[in-house]
Amino acid sequence: MQMDERKRKILRAIVLDYIATAEPIGSRTIARKFDLGVSPATIRNEMADLEDLGLIEQPYTSAGRIPSDAGYRYFVDCLMDPQELSEEQKKTIERESTKQIHEIQEVISHTSKLLSELTSLTSIVLGPHKGKSTFGKMHFLPYQPGQVIMVIVKENGVVENHIVDVGENLTVEELQHVAGVFNQKMRGYSPGQVKRSLLHDIYSELSRQRILIDNTMDMLRTILDDHDGDERIYLGGTLNMLNQPEFKDLDKVKTLFKVFEENGSLKKLLHPLHEGLNVTIGGENMLKEFRDCSLISASYKVNGITIGAVGVLGPTRMDYGKVIAIVDCMTRSLTGVLTGRRL
């Protein structure tokens, strides 16, 4: 059995109506709402075929039909008219995106908020990963008696500072000497890679400042080995999920929000995606908790290099056309805002 034009029209009608109403749709309703020029009986026959093809299903005997995952997939791939955002919406995105250009974190979190507001769904944004977290350069600055500020510049350009206990008061020259040795020996390494010999070198060159060295190495370990610090997950509009009729069941809400809470799995969800825009429908999803959800995601770039991703999560019954258009526009805008900017 093959899909013909009429089957396609009927499937399209079912998907569109179900997206709009969240109610199973019957042959009669299709005939009434969509002008296909055939009677409900004919539509019934076609629907039986569509069910055999696995594109639609019945929640229970003698209810209307709803699209299956495969049905949504067919719809997204073949039936959907590509949707354009209105000029007004585009302008909103442009305006909002360029509003907070101060810190990159603000840009990202603002993006997340905007996405969830525009779609009335949940947005998941994977913050920029910033290249390898290896040692670049170090400075010491005076702080309090017995303590100094250690400023670390990582090789990817990220700057962090921490307070380090010195042990006893050291002179500016001594501090500069210590920093100099670190800078000379450690560039490009992570503490895990620092070989015994190297550490030995540092110790032997700097005998008196043992406490400082130990504390500094401790600090470096926590700073540089902390891979979670980069790539933060930003969630927006999680509450929107509660408005979806598919989540009027408390247990579903619980399992869903549990996933939101531990964002490790969310990272996995967004990570392995291909370049450009992806649509993941229902069971195609890696997380079983998201079996009833679809994810529209896309990667964003800085200076041509993919460094993060944004996604919109909603029930499988979502307005794919609209959401895809919004996500697409958003990543373009984000890429535009970020390009030419130092992270």
Partner DNA sequence: TGTTAGCACTCATCAAGTGAGAGTGCTAAC
Partner DNA sequence: GTTAGCACTCTCACTTGATGAGTGCTAACA
- Residues found near DNA in the complex (CB under 7 A): 6, 24-29, 37-42, 44-45, 47-48, 51, 58, 60-65
Is 10 in a helix, a strand, or coil? helix
Closer of 4 and 226 to a copy of itself (Cβ): 226
Q: Which of 70, 151, 181, 277 binds a copy of itself (CB under 8 A)?
A: 151
231-256 core/surface letters (b: 16 or more CB in 10 A; e: else): bbbbbbbbebbeebeebeeeeeeeeb
CA distance 30 to 270: 37
Tell me which of a copy of itself, DNA, none is bound by residue 53, counting a contact when its beta carbon lies within the kind-specific cut-off of 5 to 8 angstroms.
none
Stretch of residues binding a copy of itself (CB under 8 A), selected from 53-61, 146-154, 189-197, 200-208: 146-154
Closer residue to DNA (CB): 2 or 207: 2
Report if residue 141 touches a copy of itself, rule: CB under 8 A. yes
Instruction: Assess 342 for contact with a copy of itself (CB under 8 A).
Output: yes
> Is the alpha carbon torsion for 277, 283, 289, 294 positive or negative?
positive
Task: Supply the minimum distance, in Å, between the C-beta of residue 304 and a copy of itself.
Answer: 19
Contacts (CB under 8 A) with a copy of itself, residues 59-118: 102
163 binds a copy of itself (CB under 8 A): yes
| The only residue of 80, 85, 153, 211 in contact with a copy of itself, by rule CB under 8 A | 153
The region, left, alpha or beta by phi > 0 then psi within -120 to 50, assigned to residue 234 is beta
The count of C-alpha atoms lying within 13 angstroms of the C-alpha of 263, restricted to the half-sphere facing its C-beta, is 17
Are the C-beta atoms of residues 141 and 123 closer than 8 Å to each other? no
d(CA 188, CA 192): 12
What are 142's strand-pairing partners? 148
Compare residues 48 and 101 and give the one whose CB is closer to DNA.
48
> Looking at beta carbons only, is 132 or 258 nearer to a copy of itself?
258
Q: Exactly one of 28, 90, 129, 139 binds a copy of itself (CB under 8 A); which one?
A: 139
Least spacing, CB of residue 247 vs a copy of itself, in Å: 8
Size of residue set near a copy of itself by CB under 8 A: 25
- Please state the closest distance from residue 12 (CB atom) to DNA, in A: 16
Radius of gyration of the chain from its Cα atoms, rounded to whole angstroms: 27
CB within 8 A of 158, min separation 6: which ones? 130, 133, 230, 343
Nearer of residues 30 and 298 to DNA, judged by Cβ: 30
Which of 39, 58, 105, 161 is close enough to bind a copy of itself by CB under 8 A?
A: 161
Q: What CA–CA distance (Å, rounded) separates 237 from 274?
A: 25
Report the site for a copy of itself in 224-283 (rule: CB under 8 A). Answer: 239, 242, 248, 250, 253-254, 257-258, 261
Shortest distance, position 20 Cβ to a copy of itself, whole Å: 22
259's CB contacts (< 8 A; 6+ apart) are 265, 266, 287, 289, 290
